[in-house]
Chains A and B, each alone.
Chain A
Amino acid sequence: AQTVTQSQPEMSVQEAETVTLSCTYDTSESDYYLFWYKQPPSRQMILVIRQEAYKQQNATENRFSVNFQKAAKSFSLKISDSQLGDAAMYFCAYRQATSGTYKYIFGTGTRLKVLA
């Protein structure tokens, strides 16, 4: 069975600095999708970034980028120039690409604090 592990329950970063949140996963599949979600205090889960496993290039969305290491089954999120609004819970998620598979598997989350 696939699993997703986020080993950092909580992280802190100084405003304007860079922080990296780690995520590892376990799967025997070769084709899948990976996601990072952000859940601010408002509780609305928002997609931050996604990565297709068949793409070697790391995904980037403005200040957010990933380091996708397929062989190591690692999918870390880097937040550059951290802002107070980045404070939230961050969840890593995996989804198998097989047609007819609908299940997303989530990690336990990392709470990010941004210090002014």
Chain B
Amino acid sequence: DVKVTQSSRYLVKRTGEKVFLECVQDMDHENMFWYRQDPGLGLRLIYFSYDVKMKEKGDIPEGYSVSREKKERFSLILESASTNQTSMYLCASSPRIRRNSPLHFGNGTRLTVT
């Protein structure tokens, strides 16, 4: 079974702090994704990566950056956290070859910025 692990289930940070959300997958997947989930808005893609050191912006990249130094790890960085970044963050992965493959999700990190 694919396992996608997000380092924190709950996180509380102060406005202006630099925040790191970590995600690790154990199935050698090429693709990794960061989504933000808000009530009534569904899941919105922040960034994705299709290979080590490769990244592409999603629909809402403003205020975020990412890092993928190793294939299994994909980090989401909030350079200066703001209250409007309070949300649920979901990491996901998928293999590149099988195009009909679904996303495999982590358990989510609920971030509160005060």
Contacts and interface: CB of A to CB of B under 8 A. Distances in A.
* Chain A residues touching B, range: 20 to 34
Interface stretch (B18-26, B67-75, B78-86, B98-106): B98-106
B88 A43 contact: yes
A89 B67 CA distance: 30
B107 interface: yes
A93 B94 CA distance: 14
A103 B102 contact: no
B100 to A, nearest CB: 5
A95 B45 CA distance: 13
A102 to B, nearest CB: 5
A103 B49 CA distance: 11
A46 to B, nearest CB: 8
Given A33-B100, A50-B102, A103 B107 contact: no
Among A37, A95, A102, A106, which residue has the most Cβ atoms of chain B within 10 A?
A102
Interface string A90-116: 010101010100111011110000000
Contacts of B94: 102
B42 A108 contact: yes
Contacts of A52: 100
Interface string A68-95: 0000000000000000000000010101
Contacts of B88: 43
Contact of B102 (A4, A6, A47, A97): A47
Interface of B: 31, 33, 35, 40-45, 48, 50, 56, 58, 88, 90, 92, 94, 99-100, 102-103, 105, 107-108
Interface of A: 4, 6, 9, 33, 35, 37, 42-47, 50, 52, 91, 93, 95, 97, 99, 102-104, 106-109
23 contacts: A9-B40, A33-B99, A33-B100, A35-B102, A37-B102, A37-B105, A44-B105, A44-B107, A45-B90, A46-B105, A47-B102, A50-B100, A50-B102, A102-B33, A102-B94, A103-B48, A103-B58, A104-B45, A106-B43, A107-B42, A108-B40, A108-B42, A109-B42
